[in-house]
Structure 1
Amino acid sequence: MAELSANIAAAARPRAGKGAQLWKDPRLLGLLSVIIGLGLWELAADSFSALILPPPSAVLARFFDPAFLPRLLGALGYSLGALVVGFGLALGLALPLGVVLGRSPTLHRMFDPLINAIYAIPPVAFVPFLIIWFGLFFEGRVALVFMMCFFDILVVVIAGSRDVRRSLVDVGRSFGASRGQCLRLVVFPALTPFLFAALRVGSARAINGMITAELFFAAANLGQIMKRSTQAFDTASALAVVVTICLLGLAAQTAIQLLERRLLSWHLRG
């Protein structure tokens, strides 16, 4: 009997270990958080009318509506155009500028007060000026996306450039590396984790800028669907747009995380 009990206990230990490892799986925990969120939403919706807070099932039904879904996807495609152009311009300018300002103490001391002053201004405050300078349509929306994410990316890249240890550069120079080679072989690899942080922060801010522009400028694309839905008291359709934006942000963050894990396996823990 004692030997049988010992065998049963030994067989149960690996299963318990597998169960503990299963609960540490980030994908399972992420799915669990979504399920809990939907459950809380469903419970909260029972306390209100569908006009004020529709249940998740009503919002999900919009994605299977043959009259609504093509309009939503078409609007999303046009919205992504302004998002990609604005975010690309912000990255193309903020990355090299951040490296230059971060690696030059003189330039950093000169421009840091100006950057901090502008960074403290809410980007929405620039909307009247952007309308005057770029108009109400595509160019204006691109400009607001650029304004929403440029300084976030710039600040992170400057911080990363200043974080590179002087000793690493000195080691490179001791082996005969030129200034350009030190920048390419030492500074950029050490800066890469901050670049991915800038990508994550900047992409989220760019998506915020995309939908903000479509609500504050001429109503178009996703913003137009939201405005017309609220005017028609169709709360489920408006929330379907919000869910679409959430899924877009989640997809962007997941793609950046996967790329970071592939390229920075030496840096990430766990």
Structure 2
Amino acid sequence: MSALSVIAGLLLWQAIGSGIISLPITFAPPTEVVVEWVEIVADGTLLGAMFNSLQHMLAGYVIAALIAIPLGFFMARSQIIEWAMNPFIDAGYSTPAIAYIPLIIVWFGLHFEARVFMVFTMCFFEMLINTHQGISSIAEDYVDVASSFDASWMELQRKVLLPASLPHIFAGLRLGAGRAVRAMIVAELFLAIVNLGALLEAAGRTYETDQMIAVIISITIVGVLFQQFVVYAEHKVIPWHFTGEEGH
């Protein structure tokens, strides 16, 4: 059914784009999009823009993970830290990331650092909240059993808390991966218009919907692959989690 649904969608798209079904919109058919996609890949335009875009996306994503996961861990294990941080986390998570753009421009300008911070802002809270929830949801019985066997503080973190919280941490990483791709494009359209954002803006200015759709599809593919990479890493790091689900 999934394959038939995709085929039906492509046929409908082709009918609208070629004028068989008349709609008051400019919409290139998939055949033209494929031709345009091949052209911008062959001449290096798309790949060069994609490479540059991925640099600030990955930088922001990694920085967000390196800060959010330890902070979420300490918030879950310390009531004082949680009380101190909760107002700021709630305020930051409730504010649309795009609202930070004027402040980001003042702090970092318009270029690479600003785009990295934009990605960081849109990824950080998803990772933090999922890590916090993962650690908080661990049954205290596990901690009590480890303590009864004289587990040291480090053994408790490494053998009990971290393994039990990894599914939640990876859930945050998957959500962060999707938000990182969106942040990458938001930054390139609302800060300095460069890379993939520049391709989209130029195509929109000249009404080249075939190029716009080709770039959008490429961005979608990157987002899907990025999330699948996180899923693959999750299977490798915590295989017991999936084995348990299948057994259930």
Q: Which moved more, 1:253-262 or 1:86-95?
A: 253-262
What is the deviation of 1:174?
0.9
Partner of 2:90: 116
Identity fraction in percent: 36
Q: Distance in 1 between matches of 2:209 and 2:105?
A: 29
1:95-149 per-position Cα deviation (integer Å, ceiling 9, x unaligned): 1011001111222123212211111000000000101110111111111011111
Match of 1:218 in 2: 192
Match of 2:115 among 123, 137, 141: 141
Distance change in 2, residues 1:52/1:66 (3 Å)? closer
Count of matched residue pairs: 242
2:14 paired residue among 42, 45, 69: 42
Cα separation, 2, equivalents of 1:161 and 1:104 = 11
Hey, what does 2:149 align to over in structure 1? 175
CA contact (8 A) 2:75 2:81 kept: yes
Contact 1:62 1:69 in 2 (8 A): no
- Counterpart residue number, 1:107: 81
> How far 1:232 sits from its partner (Å)?
1.0
Q: What's the Cα RMSD here?
A: 2.0
TM-aligned CA distance change 1:179 to 1:67, over 3 Å: closer
Residue 69 of structure 1: CA displacement? 4.8
Amino acid at match of 1:257: V
Q: Which residue of 1 aligns with 2:229?
A: 255
* CA–CA distance in structure 2, aligned partners of residues 61 and 99 of structure 1: 49
TM-score by length of 2: 0.91
Instruction: Trace 1:3-82 onto structure 2 (pairs within 5 A).
Output: 31=3, 34-45=6-17, 46-48=20-22, 52-65=26-39, 69-82=43-56
Q: Structure 1's 81 and 165: CA in aligned 2 closer, same or farther, altered over 3 A?
A: same
**1:234 equivalent in alignment to 2:232:** no
Larger CA Rg, structure 1 vs 2: 1
Alpha-carbon distance in structure 2 between the residues aligned to 1:67 and 1:247: 14
Instruction: Give the Å deviation of 1:59.
Output: 1.0
Following the alignment from structure 1 to structure 2, what is the Cα–Cα distance between the partners of residues 174 and 235?
65
How has the CA–CA distance of structure 1 residues 36 and 91 changed in structure 2, closer, same or farther, with 3 Å as cutoff?
A: farther
Amino acid at match of 1:216: F
Deviation at 1:39, TM superposition (A): 3.6
| Range with bigger deviation, 222-231 or 251-260 | 251-260
- Could you tell me whether the CA contact under 8 Å between 1:83 and 1:145 is conserved in 2? yes
1:159 aligns with 2:156: no
Structure 1, unmatched stretches of 5+, are: 1-28
Deviation at 1:222, TM superposition (A): 0.3
Gaps of 5+ in 2: none
**Structure 1 contact 62–68 (Cα < 8 Å) conserved:** no
1:85 CA drift (Å): 0.7
TM-score when normalising by structure 1: 0.84
Equivalent residue for 1:26? none
